[in-house]
Amino acid sequence: VAALRSEFGPLPDQSMHEKTSVASLIEELYTFLRQADARELGGLFREVDAARKAGDSAAEAAAQEKIDNHITHVVPIIADIDAG
């Protein structure tokens, strides 16, 4: 992270980076993970809407089951933020 995320450009991992670089990268990762959830759930909700519009209660129930059992992409991230 330190070598890639430094605001001063690519630097070696020798504690020559901002203390916020790891936290910033993790925040960015969580944003992408939440967006992945939103995209997946949005598609499932569109399936429910389409099934309701078509009057297909079996397809609606199947899509609702997928929503109810959705497993989030957001998981804990453990990051080591030390000086070397």
pTM for the full model? 0.68
Q: Residues 45-62: pLDDT tens digits?
A: 999 999 999 999 999 999
The sign of the dihedral angle between the CA atoms of 23, 24, 26, 31 is positive
Per-residue pLDDT of 61-80, as tens digits, reads 999 999 999 999 998 887 76
Q: How far apart are CA 56 and CA 49, in angstroms?
A: 10
Q: Residue 68: what residue type?
A: D
Count of Cβ atoms closer than 10 Å to residue 63 Cβ: 21
State the residue for tokens 């453990």.
78
Residue 78: per-residue pLDDT? 79
pLDDT at position 13:
57
- For 63, phi then psi, to 5°, come to -65, -40
- What is the mean predicted confidence (pLDDT) over 5-19? 61
The identity of residue 59, as a single letter, is A
